[in-house]
Structure 1
Amino acid sequence: MGEVYRLAEQKDAEQLLDITYRAYQLIRELGLHWPAANADLALVEDNISTNECYVLEVSGTIIATITLSKEEEVKKLSSLPFIKWFAVSPEYSNKGYGGKLLDWVEEHIILGQLGSPEVTLATAKKHPWLVEMYERRGYERFLELDLQNGDGIMYLLKKTLINKPHFIQRG
């Protein structure tokens, strides 16, 4: 059947809860207070209805998810589109599927539909590999904050999705 990229539906909520819970095990072990890490079915259903929750299906099975936030509190930090709740089913991690879904959302949704040349996300300084992973994907830190919730330093990262034109000065 191949790969299908689509918006999540309420009928996907139980599957998304399972994927997210298993994918966020390290987040819980690090003591981070991310809503997705301890979500219940009601919170996943709310995420699907409140935001734009996208999934990647392979052969009819959802294996990755990412959310484009529509929540107002995020807009206080940045006017740019903000992605969150990024998770890949552990059996499919490190196989490139998460990167494919992130690329698809950046290209087709954020740049293509919204027309935004940039996107933001947040992650914790104390996570052992997320900051570096996003930086390898072209994200750059632009804000450091401590929400005083026990998570420690959080980074807001931004990525430019289109190349800015280079002006050549001719002499």
Structure 2
Amino acid sequence: MRSADIVIRDATEEDRKSFIQVLLDAYKQYADELPGPQWEQYKEALGASFDEGKPIGRIVATLEGRIVGSVQLFASSAEAYGRPELGIHNPIIRYLAVSPEARGRGIAALLIKEAVRRSRALGAKQLNLHTSDMMDSAVRLYERLGFERAYETDLYNGDTLVKGFRIGLYEAAHRKK
């Protein structure tokens, strides 16, 4: 997928270092909102995310050949979180990230639209994600793109409510935005 100079493609093993750096740069804005040990633990999880889990897609956005955004696509809650009890048996996006210097160009929306396209190609009826109130700009983006709350998939990370969202893929394919 291509939009202006932004190219959306699969990540390769050679992209590992840049992929992880984009995640760390993007999520660094939350360091002050999380207590020190919690931020360090989160940072470690971000850094390990390229090598851990069972994603069905690691997708990157490049601008002038440089990775400026990424997202991971998982087949279900069992693969995404090791939590089959959530009962999500359709794709889930995790770790959506856009480099701070590349924000405002629609990169996050392009990555989500690619995840929607791939999920539809798999025959899925919906796409899920989880986020917290700390990530308020992400929540606004998800809602603008048509995601709705999926309260039954909410979970807790310690004391933090991690809210579930979903979008019907038929509706997503026919949205104008």
TM bucket (normalised to shorter chain) is: 0.7 to 0.9
Q: Shift in Å at residue 45 of structure 1? A: 3.6
Aligned to 1:138: 146
Aligned to 1:55: 60
8 Å Cα contact 1:27-1:37 kept in structure 2: no
Off by >6 Å, runs of 4+ in structure 1: none
Q: Shift in Å at residue 163 of structure 1? A: 3.4
Task: Choose the corresponding residue for 1:85, options 88, 95, 106.
Answer: 95
Aligned to 2:26: 23
Q: Structure 1 pair 149/157, CA: closer, same or farther in 2 (3 Å)?
A: same
Residue 5 of structure 2 is aligned to residue 5 of structure 1: no
Percent of matched pairs sharing the same residue:
23
Superposition CA RMSD, Å? 2.9
Q: Shift in Å at residue 23 of structure 1? A: 0.3
- Structure 1 letter corresponding to 2:113: D
Q: Could you state the TM-score of these two structures normalised by the residue count of structure 1?
A: 0.79
Q: Could you state the TM-score of these two structures normalised by the residue count of structure 2?
A: 0.77
64-73 or 54-63, larger mean C-alpha shift: 64-73
Aligned to 1:76: 85
Question: Which ranges in structure 1 are unaligned for 5 or more consecutive residues?
Answer: 165-171
Residue 123 of structure 2 is aligned to residue 110 of structure 1: no
Question: Which ranges in structure 2 are unaligned for 5 or more consecutive residues?
Answer: 173-177
Q: Deviations over 1:81-121 (max 9, x none)?
A: 110010001111111111112112212x1112x11121000
Q: Shift in Å at residue 74 of structure 1? A: 4.5
Separation in structure 2 between the aligned mates of residue 44 and residue 163 of structure 1, nearest angstrom: 30
130-139 or 67-76, larger mean C-alpha shift: 67-76
8 Å Cα contact 2:23-2:46 kept in structure 1: no
Separation in structure 2 between the aligned mates of residue 96 and residue 136 of structure 1, nearest angstrom: 12
Residue 130 of structure 2 is aligned to residue 119 of structure 1: no
Q: Determine which structure has more spread, i.e. the larger CA radius of gyration.
A: 1
- Structure 2 letter corresponding to 1:103: K
Aligned to 2:110: 100
Q: Structure 1 pair 163/69, CA: closer, same or farther in 2 (3 Å)?
A: closer
Give the number of the structure whose residues are more often helix, by fraction: 2
